[in-house]
Amino acid sequence: MLQACLNGGRDRGFHAATPLTPRELAADARAVVEAGAQQLHIHSRDAAGQESLHPDDTASALEAIRASVPGIAVGVSTGWWIAPRGRARQQHIRNWRVLPDYVSINLIEEDAAEVIDLVLEKGIGVEAGLWSASDAKKFVAIPKAHNCLRVLVEINEKEVSAGAEVARQIMEILDRAEIKLPRLLHGFEGTMWPFYRETLRLGLDARIGLEDGKLLPSGAEAENNAALIRAARALTA
């Protein structure tokens, strides 16, 4: 499965084609799906372009995207840093009336287990984001770990070799705990393409998009998210 991560916490200063508004997200969603993306991951925004988990903001983004690409699964970040920040954001999630297909939850965050319980009770899938072996140990100890949708092995190390060791440690912990969930591996910036190639080698799910980096495998700047997805698909040919 190839997921397109459309915006993350990026802004126009990072790349002029970063989609922020519901209309932009909808247009970008159509473009990346046509380019070969099979699922979408977004960070919803408020009217000022700031990341937001407010029910109105998530609803506007989700409804626009689903009208543009019906039937495509859409996920939303629940990052601790997103307004209103910390545990306060749980109330926004609790009040969601338009539900994403899944959410990403970072196990490094102190309320990760609480948010997992909250969204599972609402019938939303969970991508469990693991940044380290410590995160993996925390995840496998959660009673509802096996009820999640997938595991995200998220490599933040700048060096590929260091990131590969972290990924190995995480996978080993998941294997020992007999976590059979699908695994999505991705890098960030300079490691985005090396770890994408690793997903092809290992047969794992992958994600590509401006949230993780703006450069093509050639090193040139991509025109937009669709160009990144086309480049990813070209590597599978």
Exposed/middle/buried for residue 152 (C-beta within 10 Å: 0-12, 13-18, 19+): buried
pLDDT value for 27: 98
Distance CA 102, CA 62 (A): 12
What stretches of the chain adopt beta strand conformation (E)?
Answer: 2-5, 39-42, 73-77, 102-106, 125-130, 150-154, 183-186, 206-208
Which residues, other chains included, contact 123 with Cβ-Cβ below 8 Å and sequence gap of 6+? 99
Nearest 10 degrees: CA dihedral of 199, 144, 71, 9?
-60
Query: Given this model, what pLDDT does residue 237 score?
Result: 75
- As a CATH number, domain 2-126+195-234 is 3.20.20.70
What is the β-pairing status of strands 102-106 and 125-130? parallel
Q: How confident is the model at residue 194 (pLDDT cuts 50, 70, 90)?
A: very high
pLDDT of residue 142: 94
**What's the whole-number average pLDDT of the chain?**
97
Average pLDDT on 22-48 reads: 97
Token digits of residue 14: 């990072």
> Residue 168: which pLDDT band, with cuts at 50, 70 and 90?
very high
Q: In 3D, which of 193, 235, 209 has the Cα closest to residue 17?
A: 209
Cβ-proximal residues to 32 (8 Å cutoff; 6+ apart), any chain: 4, 6, 40, 209, 225, 226, 229
3-state secondary structure of 215: strand
Name the band, by pLDDT with cuts 50, 70 and 90, for residue 211. very high
pTM tops 0.85:
yes
| Positive or negative: CA dihedral 75, 211, 104, 61 | negative
Domain boundaries, given as residue ranges, for the chain: 2-126+195-234
Average pLDDT on 221-233 reads 98
